[in-house]
Amino acid sequence: MAERIMSASDCDSGSNAEVTYYTLSPDFSISPHGTVFPARALDYERPNHLYEFVVMAVDKGAAPHTGTATVRVRVVNVNDEAPEFSQPVYTLRLSSSRGEEEEEEEEEETRSRLTLV
């Protein structure tokens, strides 16, 4: 997930207008300046592929005022469970059959070896 910056404004002036951000989400963190980023790996298998959490903005007034916003993050799937082969090399023996019975002995000698890597 790319970082996203949240923004809240306060009509006060001076330090009373300065805003700091917080969240109690176990899945996301937010910097004091509003940059949201995942606190751990996100899981596509989550119900509805959705994370939801609340961000609180607090001004620095003598009697601080707060505002909240709900953040919804929809996770898109990535191939994190790619197929795996049970072994790294497979060896097959193939016969170069010509369809003639008298050439069976020759066939046995001309077997090909195929290795898939």
H/E segment holding residue 105: helix 104-109
**Contact between residue 6 and residue 31 where contact means Cβ atoms under 8 Å apart:** no
Instruction: Please enumerate in sequence order all residues whose Cβ is within 8 A of that of 35, keeping only pairs 6 or more positions apart, or say none.
Output: 3, 4, 5, 6
pLDDT at position 116 is 53
Q: Encode pLDDT of 78-103 as tens digits.
A: 777 788 899 988 888 887 765 555 45
Domains of the chain are: 4-74 (2.60.40.60), 87-117 (no CATH)
**Contact between residue 3 and residue 36 where contact means Cβ atoms under 8 Å apart:** yes
H/E segment holding residue 104: helix 104-109
**CA dist list (Å): 69 to 34, 38, 55, 72, 76:** 12, 17, 5, 10, 23
Average confidence (pLDDT) over 51-71: 91
Q: What is the pTM of this model?
A: 0.60
pLDDT band at 36 (very low <50, low <70, confident <90, very high): very high
The percent of residues above 90 in pLDDT, for the chain, comes to: 32
Q: Is 88 exposed, middle or buried (0-12, 13-18, 19+ CB in 10 A)?
A: exposed
